[in-house]
Amino acid sequence: MAVNFRLPGPTPLPPAVLAAMQRPMIPHRGPAAKALMASVFNRARQVHRTDGDLLIWPGSGSAGWEAAIVNLLAPGDEVLAVVAGDFGDRFAAVGVAFGLTVHRLDIPWGQSPTPELVDEALRANQGVKAVFLTHNETSTGVTIPMAAISAVVHDHAALVIVDAVSSAGGLPLEMDEWGLDFVFSGSQKAWMCPPGLLIAAVGPRAWDAIPTDGFRRFFWDFRTAKKFADQGMTPATQPLTLLYAFDAALDLILTEGVDEVWARHARLGELTRAGVKSLGLQLFADEAYGSNTVTAFEVPDGLRAQQILAHMRERHEIELQGGQAEYADTVVRIGHMGWAFEPDLQAVLDGLAETVPALMMARV
C-alpha cells in the first residue's frame, strides 16, 4: 500500500509530474528551454488570474518574503504585518530583520483578520506603505477574506503583498480582480511539485512602487528577472528538472480547469472539516474561515500530537503533521492540497476514527 501522504506541504507528486522529471537536460539558453519557460510563465499567469508579470526563481517559499521586501520597500519604511499564525509571524520577522518599521496586527491563532480590523490598524498607522498578508495560514488552517482586505488596503494607498504559498494553485486567487500587488508561492504545496521553485506574480502598482533608494539586491531583483522572463529565461541557469515538473503540473491543472481545481479543494475542505467534527474532534480554525487546503484539529486532552502521528503512520500508513510553534504537540494538521482526492481524505478520517479512540483507551 502506498503511503497516504497528507502533509500540508510538501505534497504528493502526481505520476505525470514524477515522469516529467526524467527528461534529460536541454541547452538552457536554447529554443526548447525558451519554449518551456514561455509555457510555464503563460500558464502560471492563468492560474494566478493575472495579465501581469510572472517571475520564477530557484528557492523555497520563504524567499518570497525577502524578495518582496528588498524590491518593493526601503530601509525604515513602515509596514503593517497581519499575523494570525506562524507564517504571518515569520513574514513580520523578516521585515524586522531588514530594518523595516513593522506594525503588527496580531489575531488570535485560529481566527482570521477582518477588513474592519485591517482598516482600523491602517487608520492608526497612516504612514504604512505595504501590508503583509498570509492568504492561507498553513499553521492554523485559516483562509482570510483576501478580496475585501485588499480593497481596504488600497483605500489607504498601501501595497498588498501576499504570501500565497499554501493557496496558489488550490484556492481561488484572483490577482487582478482583487488588486493584489505581489503574490508569491512555493512549488511544493498546492502546485504538487517538489520543493525548490519560488513562483511570484508582480502587478503594475508593485512595479511603480520600486523605490530608487531601496535595498541593495542582486539575486532577487525583479527588473533583472523580468528582463530575462520576457525572453523565456531566468537570469541564472534555470532549475530545469523542477520546471519540467511545474510544466506537467500546470498541464494537469489546466486540463482539469482552474475553477474545477478550486471546486475540488472546496469539496475536500468540507469533507475533512465535517469528518473531523463527526469524530468529536475540535477544529482549530474558526469554521467561517476554514481552509480548503489544510485542516487543523485540536489534540484531545490527555493525548499528544506525536502519538497520533505515529499511530497513523504505523497502523494506517498515513502521514499527517503536527502543529507549529507552541501548538507543535497540541494540534494535528491534515493537508488536502494539490494531488488530493476524496478517497485520500476519507482514508484519513477512517484512520482517525480508529486511532483516536485506541489511544484514549490505552491512556487509561
The H-assigned helical ranges of 279-317 are 305-316
* Interactions with ligand PLP, residue window 169-188 (CB under 6 A): 186
d(CA 12, CA 350): 20
Q: Residue 164: which of 7, 4, 49, 40 has the closest Cα? A: 49
Residues in the chain: 364
* Interactions with ligand PLP, residue window 98-137 (CB under 6 A): 134
Of the candidate spans 17-25, 99-107, 124-132, 161-169, the one that interacts with ligand PLP by CB under 6 A turns out to be: 161-169
Cβ-based neighbours of 5, under 8 Å, separated by 6 or more: 11, 12, 319
Q: Taking CB positions, which residue lies at the least distance from ligand PLP?
A: 61
| Residue 228 CB-half CA count within 13 A | 19
CB of 86 to ligand PLP, least distance (A): 9
Question: Counting contacts by CB under 6 A, is residue 224 touching ligand PLP?
Answer: no
Q: Residue 232: which of 8, 26, 84 has the closest Cα? A: 26
Cβ-based neighbours of 289, under 8 Å, separated by 6 or more: 111, 112, 142, 143, 144, 145
Question: Counting contacts by CB under 6 A, is residue 9 touching ligand PLP?
Answer: yes
Cell numbers describing residue 40 = 510555464
Question: Considering only residues 56, 77, 87, 144, which one is a binding residue for ligand PLP as defined by CB under 6 A?
Answer: 87
Question: Counting contacts by CB under 6 A, is residue 220 touching ligand PLP?
Answer: no
CB of 331 to ligand PLP, least distance (A): 15
CB of 92 to ligand PLP, least distance (A): 12
Beta bridge partners of 290: 142
Question: Counting contacts by CB under 6 A, is residue 61 touching ligand PLP?
Answer: yes
Closest to ligand PLP by CB, 77 or 163:
163
Axis-axis angle for helices 146-155, 115-124 (nearest 10):
20
Closest to ligand PLP by CB, 182 or 232:
182
Closest to ligand PLP by CB, 166 or 355:
166
- DSSP string of 44-110, one letter each residue: HHHHHT-SSEEEEEES-TTHHHHHHHHHH--TT-EEEEEESSHHHHHHHHHHHHTT-EEEEEE--TT
CB of 164 to ligand PLP, least distance (A): 8
Closest to ligand PLP by CB, 6 or 189:
189
Amino acid at 121: A
Question: Counting contacts by CB under 6 A, is residue 60 touching ligand PLP?
Answer: yes
Question: Counting contacts by CB under 6 A, is residue 165 touching ligand PLP?
Answer: yes
Of the candidate spans 68-76, 114-122, 163-171, 251-259, the one that interacts with ligand PLP by CB under 6 A turns out to be: 163-171
Residue 247 phi, psi dihedral angles, 5° rounding = -60, -45
Question: Counting contacts by CB under 6 A, is residue 163 touching ligand PLP?
Answer: yes
Closest to ligand PLP by CB, 163 or 181:
163
Question: Counting contacts by CB under 6 A, is residue 62 touching ligand PLP?
Answer: yes
Secondary structure class of 255 (helix, strand, coil): helix
CB of 131 to ligand PLP, least distance (A): 16
Cell numbers describing residue 246 = 511545474
- Binding string to ligand PLP for residues 130 to 149, with x set by CB under 6 A, is what? ----x---x-----------
Closest to ligand PLP by CB, 33 or 131:
131
Amino acid at 187: S
Closest to ligand PLP by CB, 61 or 95:
61
Closest to ligand PLP by CB, 140 or 307:
140
Total residues contacting ligand PLP by CB under 6 A comes to: 13
Secondary structure class of 182 (helix, strand, coil): strand
Cis before 204? omega within 30: no
Report which DSSP code applies to 127. Answer: T
Contacts to ligand PLP by CB under 6 A? 9, 60-62, 87, 134, 138, 163, 165-166, 186, 189, 195
